Amino acid sequence: MEQCQKCLRKIQTRHQGLIYSQIKAPWPHIDLTLLGSIYGISYLILVNLYSKCPKVISIKSATTSGVINSVYQVFANQGVPKVIVSRNITLFSST
């Protein structure tokens, strides 16, 4: 691993963890999770990390554009958060 340039880049680009106790306002920090397809419908779960209040959105297309269109509607109502934590949505991974 010490010789692998791709591994070294990945290790060096890791972000600092979010310290949840430092969250002081209701909307600036959200967590996104994408649940797999159930009867052809995927579910996007947005959690307000301040209040722990979830919002579940059903999406027919679990693609990058499908997820973006779904969160766009929420952001239009709530505002754009400063920090978005996403653990399992590989659609947003950079190459």
What was the pLDDT predicted at 58?
Answer: 92
Model confidence pTM above 0.95: no
Pick the residue with more confidence: 62 or 17? 62
For residue range 18-74, list pLDDT tens digits in order: 555 566 666 688 888 888 888 889 999 999 888 888 999 998 888 888 888 888 888
Rounded to whole angstroms, the Cα distance separating 62 from 14 reads 25
Question: Does the pLDDT value for residue 16 go beyond 60?
Answer: no
* Res. 11 pLDDT band, cuts 50 70 90: low
CATH classification (class only), 19-90: alpha beta
Which position has the higher pLDDT, 40 or 11? Answer: 40
Domain limits of the chain?
19-90
Concatenated DSSP letters for 28-47?
A: SEEEEEEEEEETTEEEEEEE
